[in-house]
Structure 1
């Protein structure tokens, strides 16, 4: 149906052109949830000392964060199905704002549990955003460029990560080692100092809140396409939730992709959550502000790696590129686990070069296995639910750290990345079949000509 907006909505939900303003606004959301995730790494480092937590306990920051994604993804998809992607995004921005606001009373109460609740509420909003935006970004234009659009949007994850770590480094951290400083103080003095530290964690969230309020207003007054599948008559086509879940449960490639996303999130979250902790553990003379540089380098590597992957993916098959990436990453993480010097930390930093293309490629590839587009919203939500790997697997890594050492705990991320490599190896045969089918079609066309 032709609209004054300048785009035409196709029956499968895609558009004839990409509306630039709408695509830019949706892409900004990718940076926003990356800022939140990046600030979690800052919080983990602070909470470890202030609340005197074990490595397993600190991992509950990520458990609360990604657990919120897991719990809300399906309700978010049902909300989107009943309303629209636009309303799903606005709901996400509102919950995100409420979660950020809750950090202020949490800092006053100064208890770990209240902070975890605030993080969980924040994650509810982010689950709405990611369930909406991951699929919506791919729909904002012609179908043949869907993966390209998603990769462009995902690049802004790296931008958000860099912004988040810079906010933490300069607004939260000081040039002193927090654990060492608190160890010199009396119990009462340490409690008071810890309370001051918690107040500093609020500074980045003031800026985040202002941006979120601006985005809510802009999205409310901007026209967006529906992105919904339609019949030829223009009627929106939908499927019952039970029908969708039955369809997905019988799609083995889809389930395998969800599992791969689960393990990938374990790699990304585990590496990024514990790199600063590893540096502080191996080199006690380092302080939090200094080790924040390692995360800044990690996010820059992530950004560069994604651009490099975009070029390589335009030249070679994605299964080959991602298999090589995952295998090299596995070897690097084994080095992080066993090399007893600072080179181990630089390997943990460098592995971010190889993380960039993993999430969008697994997401887009898995969603492509859903040939019945009536199930798109829920299928996308289930893939987003695989983010729970970032809640479960780092907690296991924390247990390994408490039982052995922080450095040896990186063996968990090496195993997880190896499983991601296995996924891409197993997907190679489908690339071969697709190529054979394409050649057959070309041959048939030539013969008919």
Structure 2
């Protein structure tokens, strides 16, 4: 293979490995946190809607910091953006120490927000940095390969959530906790919060180590000798490109779908295991998280398979095919009320595996320096993780809708998301191949 055609040129190998490690680190944060919606709902005796404030602030941090991160890396470098991101990530994780001591819900939300401001810096910097580390002809494949390590971190986060948090929390559900005296409830709550916080505090230490490694390793500079910030001009250039505009919309709905499928699988499976298998709510949540880990494992394998298929299938076409598969499995998730519906929900992860990096790569193809602000727009679209799960949680809290379990019906929201992504894949194939 010619040097210009290499996915990862030799001179970028070490930097590529280090930045790809960051993909795993934010995957850990995302997927240790998704099951915490159910955990916080139990600990503070709230409905599902109350627990989803974790998602609102978590993914709201992405939206709040995406464009400030883009301005920063335009003024400085991708490496500087990575370091700021790691610093904020570590700070947010360590804020779990005072939050646990205080014992209230809102300090945890502040900690999540600070942490995800760091994740926004990381993703805004790392994704275009990976595109920068080699020729344009292999950029989408390179980003898909780097993104393949994201689910490794996600699997680790899910494993920690299941075995070091959910398995150790007090198994009593909301009704049983309401029967406790105020003193007993407070004791159980503080014990649970200490258990929940420990893994976040530990990852804060890991992030500090990663910060120091990247600080002292020489990394390639994306210096274009022009640090002037022409934000209006860059946005104007980006908005002229339909492929980019529509990509931001598609990414917003993809992120929402991913978060919903990996968050509410706990409530979906919990209903089945409590009603049909006689488990307690705590046991049902643990068992459902086991299926979430299976879903992420499938996602990981499918990511590598789909990255290979990109050598032979045009990205937009493969994106469309996978989105249509997601639609079909979402129908099964809605209408099958037994374990087969859970199998369909698990299978959706295979269809999602390619979506984020492929939408990202299609939208930013050939953007040059405008990619820095373009990346910010795509990362800001992660705010889909704030309002879409809130909408699904509202449906879940209705308990029964159209004589179906509300948690089943709620998956009509991800179904609509996959429909929008399928349309973007189709339009990429039919209209956007030669654009911009």
Contact 2:34/2:259 (8 A) holds in 1: no
Match of 2:131 in 1: 138
CA distance in 2, matches of 1:321, 1:409: 27
* Inter-CA distance 53–320: structure 2 relative to 1 (3 Å threshold): same
1:108 to 90, 101, 108: 101
CA distance in 1, matches of 2:356, 2:420: 14
Write out per-residue CA displacement over residues 111-160 of structure 1, whole angstroms, 9 at most, x where no aligned residue.
22111111000001000000000110111123322112211110111101
CA distance in 1, matches of 2:432, 2:234: 26
Write out per-residue CA displacement over residues 324-346 of structure 1, whole angstroms, 9 at most, x where no aligned residue.
11111111111111211111112
* Inter-CA distance 15–194: structure 2 relative to 1 (3 Å threshold): closer
Match of 2:254 in 1: 264
Contact 1:326/1:354 (8 A) holds in 2: yes
CA distance in 2, matches of 1:126, 1:237: 24
Match of 1:52 in 2: 45
Match of 1:329 in 2: 326
Aligned length: 416
2:202 to 204, 207, 211: 207
SS of the equivalent of 2:337 reads coil
Q: How does 1:307-326 map to 2 (within 5 A)?
A: 307-326=304-323
Contact 1:18/1:142 (8 A) holds in 2: no
Match of 2:171 in 1: 177
Q: How does 1:113-128 map to 2 (within 5 A)?
A: 113-128=106-121
CA distance in 2, matches of 1:338, 1:187: 41
How far 1:183 sits from its partner (Å)? Answer: 5.2
How far 1:402 sits from its partner (Å)? Answer: 2.0
Match of 1:88 in 2: 81
2:375 equivalent to 1:376: no
2:298 equivalent to 1:301: yes
Structure 1 gap segments, 5+ residues each = 1-7, 435-449
How far 1:17 sits from its partner (Å)? Answer: 4.6
Match of 1:446 in 2: none
CA RMSD of aligned residues (A): 2.1
How far 1:249 sits from its partner (Å)? Answer: 2.6
CA distance in 2, matches of 1:240, 1:99: 31
* Inter-CA distance 207–330: structure 2 relative to 1 (3 Å threshold): same
* Inter-CA distance 249–431: structure 2 relative to 1 (3 Å threshold): closer
* Inter-CA distance 150–178: structure 2 relative to 1 (3 Å threshold): farther
Contact 2:141/2:310 (8 A) holds in 1: no
Contact 2:96/2:201 (8 A) holds in 1: no
Structure 2 gap segments, 5+ residues each = none
* Inter-CA distance 239–345: structure 2 relative to 1 (3 Å threshold): same
* Inter-CA distance 141–433: structure 2 relative to 1 (3 Å threshold): closer
Give the TM-score normalised by the residue count of structure 2: 0.91
Match of 2:391 in 1: 396
SS of the equivalent of 1:201 reads helix
Contact 1:278/1:345 (8 A) holds in 2: yes
CA distance in 1, matches of 2:33, 2:260: 12
Match of 2:220 in 1: 225
CA distance in 1, matches of 2:231, 2:433: 33
Bigger Cα Rg? 1
1:69 to 59, 62, 66: 62
How far 1:16 sits from its partner (Å)? Answer: 6.4
SS of the equivalent of 2:338 reads coil
CA distance in 2, matches of 1:273, 1:160: 16
Contact 2:324/2:418 (8 A) holds in 1: yes
SS of the equivalent of 1:32 reads helix
SS of the equivalent of 2:425 reads helix
Give the TM-score normalised by the residue count of structure 1: 0.88
